[in-house]
Amino acid sequence: MNGSIRVGNLFGIPFYINVSWFIVLALMTLSYGGSLAAQFPQLGLGLPFLLGLIAALLLFASVLAHELGHSVVAIKQGINVKSISLFLFGGLASLDQEAKTPAGAFWIAIAGPLVSLFLFVGLTLMGSYLPLAAPLTALINLLAYVNLALAIFNLIPGLPLDGGNILKALIWKITGNQFKGIVFASRVGQGFGWLAILLGFLPLFAGGSINFWTILIGWFLLSNAGILAKDATLRNQLSQFTAEDALADNNSIVPQEISLRTFVNDYIIGKTATRQFLVTNEAGELVGQISGDDLKTIPTSQWPLIQVQTVMQPVEFSTTVDAKQPLLDVVTVLEQQQLNELPVVRNGVLVGLIEKASIRRLLEQRLQANPA
């Protein structure tokens, strides 16, 4: 992960700390340490900042507990948690897939805030009833109210916050379309981002100074919500098609029994350039591949006498997709296996080749047909 350091595993989940986290850790240590030094001068010079460091670490431990809440519920739903990261704006649990149902998405989203609220109640009770020294009581109370603030902030109903995921689950339940839920919640998140940026600049009109932290949070919401909306819009478009809708040139399938002369005349001369052709047997099964380059060492006088099956190369595809498979699933396979193309079959019979370029063309045609 860029700019992040892996520090170990938590319940089998890789745990990372971004370099930006150390900046916030130092600022929080100095800020709270200075506050304790002013509030409790009897602590001397060093102890307040040591307590400030402990408080900062415990605050991040609270953020970590929040993310573990999401992770545990996701794992119980069979979803793999790729990593948990701490960074400038808090924490992030990275899941390898979305929840399969609106209810599943809701429980994953609400788990983090519930953990924070639980910590708030527990720490509040500790601060109220345990006979601790005043500085420790102040530290516990700080942790309690930070957890409350963490829960409330994350419940703002806009992506990428937890409240946005809850809103997404609600819209998904109402419309039956997961991607509509993501787009709607992302737009709301962008709205809150603009609001935060406006509030950050608002003090200028009263003769005050810009609140950079609020502006930074607004920018974070705005940019990440925009990315999520764009991604969901694309995935929504892909979900409306199947693999056979995005087939590349149908001229890319060649019968193995035809001669090389027929192959050149019917499939290469005057046709759109195709680097690779798939070869099928009489049953339509994929048996090999051939390109124009494979003919370079064969005299043209021999082309009418030699069949394609004699020259074809072993097929290199280890994965095929069904013609009726959702195009979104196909794109996932292409990305996960880092492929540029896949053969498409129907009942075991090869029907064509799907490429990243053919998927892009399909989406461009859809956009031109429906520009709105």
* Residues annotated catalytic, as ranges: 67
Q: How many CB atoms lie within 10 A of CB 6?
A: 12
- The radius of gyration of the chain from alpha carbons, rounded to an integer in Å, stands at 29
Residues near 158 by beta carbon (within 8 Å), at least 6 away in sequence: 164, 167, 185, 186, 188, 189, 190, 191, 192, 193, 221, 225
CA-CA distance, 192 to 179, in Å (whole number)?
A: 20
**Two tokens at 209?**
């100074």
Q: What is the dihedral of CA 11, 13, 18, 22, to 10 degrees?
A: 0
CA-CA distance, 288 to 184, in Å (whole number)?
A: 46
**Two tokens at 212?**
């950079």
Amino acid, single-letter form, for residue 263? F
Strand ranges, E, within the chain: 4-10, 13-18, 81-87, 90-95, 253-255, 277-280, 286-290, 321-322, 341-346, 349-355
CA-CA distance, 370 to 372, in Å (whole number)?
A: 6
Write out the H or E segment, with its range, that includes residue 324: none
Amino acid, single-letter form, for residue 186? S
Computed from CA positions of residues 103, 106, 108, 114, in that sequence, does the dihedral angle turn out positive or negative? negative
**Two tokens at 186?**
């992302």
CA-CA distance, 186 to 113, in Å (whole number)?
A: 19
Contact present, 243 and 322 (Cβ < 8 Å): yes
Q: Scanning the structure block, which residue is given the tokens 């709105």? A: 372
**Two tokens at 246?**
């995005």
CA-CA distance, 276 to 263, in Å (whole number)?
A: 12
